[in-house]
Structures are given as structure tokens and as C-alpha cells.
Structure 1
Amino acid sequence: MQNILNLIIPILSIILIGYAAGKFKILKVETSDILTRFLFFFCLPSLTFSNIYQSKLEDLLNYRFLFTFLSGMLIVITLQYLLYNRLFHIRGQELVMLTMGGFYANIVYMGVPVTSLILSSVIPPLIALFLQASFFFPLSIFLMDQFCEPKPKRDRFGTILLVVKNPILIASFLAILSLVLKIHYPQFLISTFELMGKPAATTGLFVLGFTSNLPAGSMISKHEMKMALIASFFKVIVQPLIAFLIGKYLFRLDAWWLSAAVICSMLPTAVNHFIVSQKYHSCGNESRLIILFTTIGFCIMISCYLLIFGVIQ
């Protein structure tokens, strides 16, 4: 129990420090954008490159982990679609946003810091990030555009550019290519990337707390509260449970990779969800609640998981 507290309390403490910095205006509002850009364009690409480059190629191509995580997402997406569409008769952008809230994980700000502390590796969340950022996020944006009235003008390569311009995906591709081609870089270069990537965990958690001071919205209705609770339930309970069952009994993952699959599936909903909700003026209140509920739920569920199965190093 002491080991679990030693892992969880520092994570919550950094999030709360970030929240306090925003709540009491210790840092200006624009600080969030500066820290996010520093994290997105410098820390995370460096961390991604150094971790992948120094890993084994077979770990990166662990199809059993990949399909375990992917299966959980697809099953949750299907279940949510049937529930929202058939039972609550929800259509269009609201359907896309609620479904996204129930499966889209906060891998950047929460996944990387948590797995680096619990599993001493960021390879599993980076694999999950590649999957989310290269397919599911562009697909979600594409669907939101399709339900816009009038539909926005976007050239055929607009969605592809969302992926191509992602520095984390670029760093992943270059590192994998270097492993495949057996390119050896001087140690000082790898050490530089490692040093640049070290602030990623702390910065990510701090920014998550800082950005939790979301702008106030209109009065929250019972319908919005209900939808947010349902999406949160799928995100922090249903998806990790499915990942556990599939990983353990179908793909026979070992204890370390099974824990990685469950933790990555359990991660709270990403702040990107709120950004998309503001861009399309859809499900703003639900998004705020989903991010809040899943973050709290994750802290509770990860503690329970570690208490039952222990810390896997």
C-alpha cells in the first residue's frame, strides 16, 4: 500500500500544484499555451525519439499489446454508439463528441508521466499515442466536419496534414526508421534528446492541472450530467476491463504488458476533447465534466488496480 501511495500521491500533487497556479493566477493564462507548445514541440518528441531508439524493435511491434488496446477502443466505440444512438436517439456532432469522450485517452499529459513512474517505460503509451493520433483523432475531426452546417471547406489533404505535422509522430517514425536501418547516432546526440525529454513527465502533469481551470459554461442540465457520467464509465471502467480480459485470455500478455494495456486503456479523457468541443460548439459542458470525472476516476481505479495486482517493474 505504501508503494502505491508513493506512486499516486506525487502524481496528484503535481496536478494540484498546476491547478493552484491557474486558480490563484500565479501564472498568466497564456502560460498554458507556452508550456503546451514546449511540451509538444520539444520535450515529447525528444522523449519519444530517445525511448524508441533505445528500445528493441520487437517491443515496438508487439502486435498483441497493440491489438489488445485497439480491441478495447473499438468495442467501447461500438457499445457507446449503440447506447447513445438507439437508447437516447443522439445523432451528429453530439454522438461523435460523447463517443470520443469515452475512448480518447490523455496519453500526453497523463499516460507518459504515469507509465514512466509505474512501469519505468513510456513505450506502451507511445504506441497507443501513435494509434490515436494517426487515425482516431483525424477520423473524429473528419466526422465533426461532416456534421457541420454548412460544411467547412477543407482540401483533400487537410486531414492528412494533421498527422504529418505532428512532431511526436515524426519523431516516432524517424526513431523506428533508424532501428530498421540500424543507424547509429553519437552518444552525445542521444544524451541531448534524453535531457530534453526529462521535463516531459512533470510538465505534462502540471499543464493538466493548470488547464483544469476551464472557462465557466452555462448551467449544467441533468441530460448533460447523465451523458458525461456514461462516457466516464466507459472510459475508466469498461475499456480497461475489456483490455484486461482480451489481453489476459485472448492474447496471453505477460504481467508487464498486461498492466501497460490496462493502464493505457484506463487513462482519463484528453484535454483535446474540450478543445474540439469549443471549436465546434458541441457538448461543451459534457466535455468539462468528462475530463473532470475521468481524471478523478482514473486516480481511484489505478490505485485499486495496483492494490490488487501490485506494481509491475
Structure 2
Amino acid sequence: MSGVVAGFSVIFIIIAVGYVLGRRDVLGPTGEQVLSRLVFFVATPALLFDSLAHADLSVIFSSTLVVAGGSALLVGLCYLVVARLWWHRAIPEAVIGALASSYVNSVNLGIPIAVFVLGDASFVAPLLLFQIVIYSPIALTAMDLTVLHDRSPAWYAPFVQPFRNPIVLAGLAGLLPAVTGWSLPEALAQPFHLLGGASVPGALLAFGISLNGVRVLKRGESPRRDVALATVLKIVVQPLVAYLIGRYLLDLSGHALLAAVIIATLPTAQNVFTYASRYQRGMMLARDAGLVTTLAAVPAIALGAALLG
């Protein structure tokens, strides 16, 4: 339980600092947008490259990857079906909602909770790889094709567009050293490490700045029904799906099953708000879902640990 408290305390403190910066207008009227773009185009690609370049592929490609990837895709698809077929949401907003309901905060919450609650940070690695190499490219390509093009894209656009996205490129580039065993010289690797260190706090600060002057879940402004659906899917359904996949398809038990469920219960990543800010679509949905799922995840993780631990 101490790991849960410690992990969430870090998040809330940095978000609070961002809120104060926004409240006092320290970074000016465009501070949140500039910071979000810095995180999207520079810091996050550097973090992904640095993380994957040193990854142990034998740990990453495990049953945990199947649980993490399968539960995220199934839950995201559930949101898309409801948002598109029943609520008739536009594709960009539906994609942001799908990410809000299934894209796990695997770095700034996942790592400390994996260390303090599960006793091993490697439990987060498969999920991190899945989100970087598979989930983000799919979602960002959909956003690129539906937001950044005023006319119908060419037939080859879905194949070309991912290679124009800095996050996708960084993830793929980071896999090359991991696969080949080649290491960058320290003088070249260190800049990626330093720049990547700004990704998590930068995203949290931008999120805090966005809370200034707004009321979360405000009637008439916030897409409250969308936020509610994303929250239920993220905090309730995704852990349940992870349990079913792990227990009945992969025959996991004990600590391995506990790890799969706890990781799936982690709240929406602040990356989702960064993506929404980049494309200026679904920002209130990403912001409100990020905050609500973060608050709801505290008792949910504690309950999951008590039931399965």
C-alpha cells in the first residue's frame, strides 16, 4: 500500500505545481500548449528511445505482454463501438476516448507501483512496449489521417503516416539497439536520457496548467457521459478482462496474475492528454478522464491487491 500512496503522491504534487504555474500565468497564455508540444515532439520520443534501447526483450516478450495488449485492445474497442455506433462521436474524439479508457499510466505510476507493490519493475516493461510500438502508432495514425488532412488522404497514407510521427519513429528506432545488441556511445546516449527525463514531469505540468480556470466534469462543458464510460472501462472492465485472459487463457496464478491485474488497474496516462492537445481534439475528455481515473485507481489497486495478494 505504501507504493500506491508514494506513486500517486508524486503525480498529485507535480500536477499541483503545474496548476500554480497556470494560476500565476508564469508561462503565459500559451504555456500549456508549448509545453505539450515540447513533450510530444522532443521529450517523449527521447524517453521512448532511451527506454527501449536498454530493454531486455526476453522479459518484454512474455505472457504479461499478451495480457496487457489483449486487455487494452479489447477495452479500447468497446469504447469505440459505443462512441461511434451509439453516440455517433467523431473519429478523433472516439480515438481519444478509447485511449482514455485503456492507455495505462505505465511510467510515472506503473514503475513505482511495480517496484513497491509487486516487487519487480519488469512487470511494466511488456505493457510499455505494447503501448509504444503497437497502440500509439495505431491511435496516432488514426488521428493524423482524420485531423491533419482536410481532404481524403491518398491510398498509401496509412502506410506512410506512422513514419512521420516522432513518437512512432522513436519507438521503432529504440528497438534496433535492443534487437541487435548494439549500444550507442555514451556521448550520444546521454542527451536522449536527459531529454527523456523531461517527458513525465512535462506532461504532468501541462496537465496541471490545463486545470487552471476550469471545473472538472462541469455540466454543459465536460463530456461527462464519455468520461464516465472511459472511467468504468479503465478502472473496472480492463482489470477484469486482464484477470480473465491471465487466469483462463494463459493459466496464470499467484503473483503473476496479481501483477497483470494491478498493472491493468493503473489510471489513464497523461500521454492521452498530450496527444489530445497536439491535435486539439477531445482535450476535456482526456483531462477529466485522466483526473477521475487517477483518483479512482487508488482504492481500486488497493482492493485488487487485497483480493489477489
Indicate the TM-score class for this superposition, using the shorter chain for normalisation: 0.7 to 0.9
Matched residue count: 297
Classify 1:241/1:152 alpha carbon distance in 2 versus 1 (closer, same or farther; 3 Å). Answer: same
Classify 1:92/1:61 alpha carbon distance in 2 versus 1 (closer, same or farther; 3 Å). Answer: same
| 1:132 matched residue in structure 2 | 135
* Alpha-carbon displacement from aligned partner over 1:93-116 (angstroms, at most 9, x marks no partner): 28x7357514446869x4321223
TM-score by structure 1 length? 0.74
Q: Which amino acid counterpart does residue 26 of structure 1 have in structure 2? A: V
| 2:266 matched residue in structure 1 | 266
Distance in 2 separating the partners of 1:29 and 1:79: 37
| 1:191 matched residue in structure 2 | 190
**What pairs with 1:158-307 in structure 2 (closer than 5 Å)?**
158-213=157-212, 220-221=219-220, 224-252=223-251, 255=255, 259=259, 262-263=262-263, 266-268=266-268, 270-271=272-273, 274-275=276-277, 278-279=280-281, 289-305=288-304
Classify 1:264/1:276 alpha carbon distance in 2 versus 1 (closer, same or farther; 3 Å). Answer: farther
Classify 1:61/1:267 alpha carbon distance in 2 versus 1 (closer, same or farther; 3 Å). Answer: same
* Alpha-carbon displacement from aligned partner over 1:140-177 (angstroms, at most 9, x marks no partner): 665x57xx9xx833233444444212223222222322
Contact in 2 for aligned 1:46/1:197 (Cα 8 Å) = yes
Post-superposition shift, 1:232?
A: 1.8
Contact in 1 for aligned 2:37/2:278 (Cα 8 Å) = no
Contact in 2 for aligned 1:72/1:239 (Cα 8 Å) = yes
Post-superposition shift, 1:238?
A: 0.9
The gaps in structure 2 that reach 5 residues or longer are 115-120
Q: Which amino acid counterpart does residue 208 of structure 1 have in structure 2? A: F
Post-superposition shift, 1:14?
A: 1.0
Contact in 2 for aligned 1:65/1:253 (Cα 8 Å) = no
Q: Which amino acid counterpart does residue 10 of structure 1 have in structure 2? A: V
Classify 1:33/1:161 alpha carbon distance in 2 versus 1 (closer, same or farther; 3 Å). Answer: farther
SS state of the match for residue 112, structure 1? coil
Classify 1:185/1:251 alpha carbon distance in 2 versus 1 (closer, same or farther; 3 Å). Answer: same
Distance in 2 separating the partners of 1:128 and 1:253: 22
SS state of the match for residue 55, structure 2? coil
TM-score by structure 2 length? 0.74
* Alpha-carbon displacement from aligned partner over 1:117-138 (angstroms, at most 9, x marks no partner): 3334663324323222222343
* Alpha-carbon displacement from aligned partner over 1:54-85 (angstroms, at most 9, x marks no partner): 222223433x3332223223432454466567
Classify 1:261/1:200 alpha carbon distance in 2 versus 1 (closer, same or farther; 3 Å). Answer: farther
- Identity percentage of aligned residues: 21
Contact in 2 for aligned 1:18/1:210 (Cα 8 Å) = yes
The gaps in structure 1 that reach 5 residues or longer are none
Q: Which amino acid counterpart does residue 271 of structure 1 have in structure 2? A: F
Distance in 2 separating the partners of 1:277 and 1:179: 31
The correspondence for 1:93, drawn from 85, 90, 93, is 90
* Alpha-carbon displacement from aligned partner over 1:230-267 (angstroms, at most 9, x marks no partner): 23211222112212331344224584686366435633
Q: Which amino acid counterpart does residue 178 of structure 1 have in structure 2? A: P
